Amino acid sequence: QLLILHGYTARTIPKEYGGYGAEPDILKSRIIAEEFSRAGIPAGLANQGISMLVPTLLELGTEAQKRQWIEPTLNGEIVWCQGYSEPGAGSDLAALKTSARVENGDFVINGQKIWTSTAKQADMIFCLVRTEPDAPKHGGISYLIFSMDTPGIEVRPLKTMTGHAEFNETFFTDVRVPLDQIVGQRGQGWYVANATLGHE
Protein backbone atom coordinates (compact mmCIF):
# COMPACT_ATOMS: atom_id res chain seq x y z
CA GLN A 1 0.00 0.00 0.00
CA LEU A 2 2.81 2.42 0.90
CA LEU A 3 4.69 1.59 -2.30
CA ILE A 4 1.57 2.37 -4.37
CA LEU A 5 0.87 5.54 -2.35
CA HIS A 6 4.35 6.92 -3.08
CA GLY A 7 4.42 5.85 -6.73
CA TYR A 8 6.91 3.00 -6.50
CA THR A 9 4.60 0.35 -7.86
CA ALA A 10 1.41 0.43 -9.96
CA ARG A 11 2.82 3.73 -11.21
CA THR A 12 0.78 4.04 -14.37
CA ILE A 13 -2.45 2.45 -13.10
CA PRO A 14 -5.17 5.14 -12.91
CA LYS A 15 -6.03 6.33 -9.41
CA GLU A 16 -9.69 5.37 -9.83
CA TYR A 17 -8.57 1.72 -9.97
CA GLY A 18 -6.22 1.95 -6.98
CA GLY A 19 -2.97 2.89 -8.75
CA TYR A 20 -0.67 5.91 -8.51
CA GLY A 21 -1.80 7.54 -11.75
CA ALA A 22 1.59 8.57 -13.20
CA GLU A 23 2.38 8.99 -16.87
CA PRO A 24 4.40 6.11 -18.40
CA ASP A 25 8.16 6.62 -17.94
CA ILE A 26 10.42 3.72 -18.93
CA LEU A 27 13.55 5.18 -17.29
CA LYS A 28 11.87 5.74 -13.92
CA SER A 29 10.31 2.28 -14.04
CA ARG A 30 13.73 0.72 -14.77
CA ILE A 31 15.38 2.61 -11.92
CA ILE A 32 12.66 1.54 -9.49
CA ALA A 33 12.94 -2.11 -10.62
CA GLU A 34 16.72 -2.08 -10.07
CA GLU A 35 16.36 -0.52 -6.63
CA PHE A 36 13.70 -3.07 -5.69
CA SER A 37 16.08 -5.86 -6.69
CA ARG A 38 18.97 -4.34 -4.76
CA ALA A 39 16.80 -3.94 -1.65
CA GLY A 40 15.55 -7.53 -1.88
CA ILE A 41 11.90 -6.55 -2.19
CA PRO A 42 9.83 -9.69 -2.91
CA ALA A 43 9.10 -10.56 -6.53
CA GLY A 44 5.42 -10.82 -5.63
CA LEU A 45 5.10 -7.13 -6.43
CA ALA A 46 5.52 -8.09 -10.09
CA ASN A 47 3.32 -11.16 -10.06
CA GLN A 48 1.26 -12.29 -13.04
CA GLY A 49 -1.82 -10.48 -11.84
CA ILE A 50 -0.13 -7.11 -11.48
CA SER A 51 2.28 -7.32 -14.41
CA MET A 52 0.08 -9.12 -16.96
CA LEU A 53 -3.62 -9.23 -16.11
CA VAL A 54 -4.08 -5.68 -14.81
CA PRO A 55 -2.73 -4.05 -18.01
CA THR A 56 -4.92 -6.41 -20.05
CA LEU A 57 -8.04 -5.41 -18.13
CA LEU A 58 -7.17 -1.73 -18.51
CA GLU A 59 -6.91 -2.23 -22.26
CA LEU A 60 -9.71 -4.70 -22.98
CA GLY A 61 -11.77 -5.32 -19.84
CA THR A 62 -15.23 -3.97 -19.13
CA GLU A 63 -15.65 -1.17 -16.62
CA ALA A 64 -17.19 -3.66 -14.18
CA GLN A 65 -14.18 -5.99 -14.53
CA LYS A 66 -11.72 -3.15 -13.95
CA ARG A 67 -13.50 -2.07 -10.79
CA GLN A 68 -13.92 -5.61 -9.48
CA TRP A 69 -10.44 -7.00 -10.07
CA ILE A 70 -7.74 -4.34 -10.44
CA GLU A 71 -7.56 -2.72 -6.99
CA PRO A 72 -7.67 -5.97 -4.96
CA THR A 73 -5.00 -7.40 -7.28
CA LEU A 74 -2.74 -4.39 -6.72
CA ASN A 75 -3.31 -4.64 -2.96
CA GLY A 76 -2.27 -8.29 -2.91
CA GLU A 77 -5.72 -9.47 -1.89
CA ILE A 78 -5.99 -11.61 -5.05
CA VAL A 79 -3.21 -13.83 -6.43
CA TRP A 80 -3.56 -14.93 -10.07
CA CYS A 81 -2.18 -17.77 -12.16
CA GLN A 82 -2.10 -18.17 -15.94
CA GLY A 83 -3.82 -21.04 -17.76
CA TYR A 84 -2.27 -21.09 -21.24
CA SER A 85 0.00 -24.11 -21.86
CA GLU A 86 -1.40 -27.60 -22.46
CA PRO A 87 0.12 -31.07 -22.82
CA GLY A 88 0.87 -31.80 -26.46
CA ALA A 89 0.41 -28.20 -27.58
CA GLY A 90 3.90 -26.98 -26.68
CA SER A 91 4.28 -23.29 -27.39
CA ASP A 92 1.45 -23.35 -29.95
CA LEU A 93 -1.30 -21.77 -27.87
CA ALA A 94 -3.73 -22.00 -30.78
CA ALA A 95 -3.56 -25.81 -30.57
CA LEU A 96 -5.24 -25.83 -27.15
CA LYS A 97 -8.00 -28.36 -26.52
CA THR A 98 -9.52 -27.21 -23.21
CA SER A 99 -13.14 -26.57 -24.13
CA ALA A 100 -15.95 -24.39 -22.80
CA ARG A 101 -19.53 -24.95 -23.90
CA VAL A 102 -22.43 -22.68 -22.92
CA GLU A 103 -25.06 -24.26 -20.68
CA ASN A 104 -27.77 -22.51 -18.61
CA GLY A 105 -26.01 -19.15 -18.52
CA ASP A 106 -22.52 -20.49 -17.78
CA PHE A 107 -19.43 -21.61 -19.60
CA VAL A 108 -18.75 -25.26 -18.69
CA ILE A 109 -15.03 -25.98 -18.92
CA ASN A 110 -13.32 -29.34 -19.44
CA GLY A 111 -9.64 -29.94 -20.10
CA GLN A 112 -6.14 -29.63 -18.71
CA LYS A 113 -3.39 -27.03 -18.38
CA ILE A 114 0.27 -27.62 -17.55
CA TRP A 115 3.18 -25.55 -16.18
CA THR A 116 0.67 -23.45 -14.24
CA SER A 117 2.95 -21.54 -11.86
CA THR A 118 1.49 -20.54 -8.46
CA ALA A 119 -1.70 -22.53 -9.15
CA LYS A 120 -1.58 -23.96 -5.61
CA GLN A 121 -1.48 -20.47 -4.09
CA ALA A 122 -3.66 -18.63 -6.60
CA ASP A 123 -7.13 -17.30 -5.87
CA MET A 124 -7.98 -16.70 -9.54
CA ILE A 125 -6.89 -17.80 -13.01
CA PHE A 126 -6.91 -16.14 -16.42
CA CYS A 127 -7.40 -18.99 -18.83
CA LEU A 128 -7.65 -19.71 -22.55
CA VAL A 129 -10.41 -22.10 -23.64
CA ARG A 130 -11.93 -23.17 -26.94
CA THR A 131 -15.52 -21.91 -27.17
CA GLU A 132 -15.99 -22.15 -30.95
CA PRO A 133 -14.95 -25.68 -31.99
CA ASP A 134 -15.85 -25.16 -35.66
CA ALA A 135 -13.93 -21.89 -36.06
CA PRO A 136 -10.34 -21.66 -37.37
CA LYS A 137 -8.02 -22.53 -34.49
CA HIS A 138 -6.93 -18.94 -33.83
CA GLY A 139 -10.53 -17.73 -34.00
CA GLY A 140 -12.22 -20.20 -31.68
CA ILE A 141 -10.51 -19.23 -28.42
CA SER A 142 -11.92 -17.19 -25.54
CA TYR A 143 -10.22 -15.64 -22.50
CA LEU A 144 -11.96 -16.36 -19.18
CA ILE A 145 -11.22 -15.30 -15.61
CA PHE A 146 -12.50 -17.36 -12.70
CA SER A 147 -11.89 -18.52 -9.14
CA MET A 148 -9.52 -21.40 -8.43
CA ASP A 149 -12.00 -22.49 -5.74
CA THR A 150 -14.64 -23.26 -8.37
CA PRO A 151 -15.87 -26.86 -8.05
CA GLY A 152 -14.27 -29.20 -10.58
CA ILE A 153 -10.72 -27.77 -10.45
CA GLU A 154 -7.88 -30.06 -9.38
CA VAL A 155 -4.26 -28.91 -9.06
CA ARG A 156 -1.40 -31.43 -9.05
CA PRO A 157 2.12 -30.16 -8.26
CA LEU A 158 4.96 -31.01 -10.66
CA LYS A 159 8.03 -31.65 -8.51
CA THR A 160 11.44 -30.83 -9.97
CA MET A 161 14.73 -32.60 -9.23
CA THR A 162 15.20 -30.26 -6.26
CA GLY A 163 11.94 -31.43 -4.72
CA HIS A 164 10.28 -28.06 -5.23
CA ALA A 165 6.96 -27.71 -7.04
CA GLU A 166 6.74 -24.24 -8.56
CA PHE A 167 4.71 -25.54 -11.52
CA ASN A 168 1.51 -27.55 -11.60
CA GLU A 169 -0.92 -29.49 -13.74
CA THR A 170 -4.44 -28.09 -13.54
CA PHE A 171 -7.48 -30.17 -14.45
CA PHE A 172 -10.98 -28.85 -15.19
CA THR A 173 -14.02 -31.12 -14.97
CA ASP A 174 -17.38 -29.46 -15.70
CA VAL A 175 -16.16 -26.17 -14.19
CA ARG A 176 -18.97 -23.60 -14.38
CA VAL A 177 -18.03 -19.97 -15.04
CA PRO A 178 -20.56 -17.12 -15.47
CA LEU A 179 -20.76 -15.75 -19.01
CA ASP A 180 -19.72 -12.25 -17.90
CA GLN A 181 -16.31 -13.50 -16.76
CA ILE A 182 -14.93 -13.30 -20.28
CA VAL A 183 -12.42 -10.63 -21.31
CA GLY A 184 -13.22 -9.39 -24.80
CA GLN A 185 -15.72 -11.24 -26.95
CA ARG A 186 -16.17 -14.94 -27.64
CA GLY A 187 -13.61 -16.09 -30.17
CA GLN A 188 -11.31 -13.10 -29.48
CA GLY A 189 -9.15 -14.88 -26.91
CA TRP A 190 -6.14 -15.08 -29.22
CA TYR A 191 -6.11 -11.30 -29.52
CA VAL A 192 -6.57 -10.82 -25.76
CA ALA A 193 -3.87 -13.39 -24.94
CA ASN A 194 -1.38 -11.60 -27.17
CA ALA A 195 -2.17 -8.36 -25.36
CA THR A 196 -1.43 -10.13 -22.07
CA LEU A 197 1.82 -11.66 -23.35
CA GLY A 198 2.91 -8.21 -24.45
CA HIS A 199 3.17 -7.33 -20.75
CA GLU A 200 4.99 -10.53 -19.69
pLDDT digits (tens, 9 = 90+) for 71-94: 999 888 999 999 999 998 877 888
Residues 6 or more apart from 88 whose CB is under 8 A from it? Answer: 95, 97
pLDDT of amino acid 93: 85
Tell me if 85 sits within 8 A of 126, measured CB to CB: no
Q: Residue 36 domain-assigned?
A: no
Give the integer Cα–Cα distance in Å for 192 and 127.
Answer: 11
Asked if the structure places residue 55 within a domain, the reply is: no
pLDDT in tens, 132-185: 999 998 999 999 999 999 999 999 988 777 777 778 999 999 999 999 999 999
Domain membership flag for residue 96: yes
Q: Is residue 84 in some structural domain?
A: yes
Residues of the domain holding 158: 80-197
Are β-strands 153-158 and 182-183 bridged in parallel, bridged antiparallel, or unpaired? unpaired
- pLDDT score at 89: 81
Domain assignment present for residue 31? The answer is: no
- Decide if pLDDT at 98 tops 80: yes
The pLDDT, as a whole number, for residue 111 is: 98
pLDDT attached to residue 127: 97
pLDDT tens figures, 21-68 = 888 777 887 788 788 889 887 655 557 888 889 999 999 999 999 999
Question: How far apart are alpha carbons 15 and 4 in whole angstroms?
Answer: 10
Per-residue confidence band for 105, with pLDDT thresholds at 50, 70 and 90: very high
pLDDT band at 117 (very low <50, low <70, confident <90, very high): confident
In a domain, 21, yes or no: no
169: domain CATH number is 2.40.110.10
Q: What total of structural domains would you count in the chain? A: 1
Is 74 part of a structural domain of the chain? no
Active site (catalytic) residues: 200
> What is the dihedral sign for C-alpha 165, 166, 172, 178?
positive
Residue 70 lies in a domain: no
Q: What local confidence, expressed as pLDDT, does residue 118 receive?
A: 87
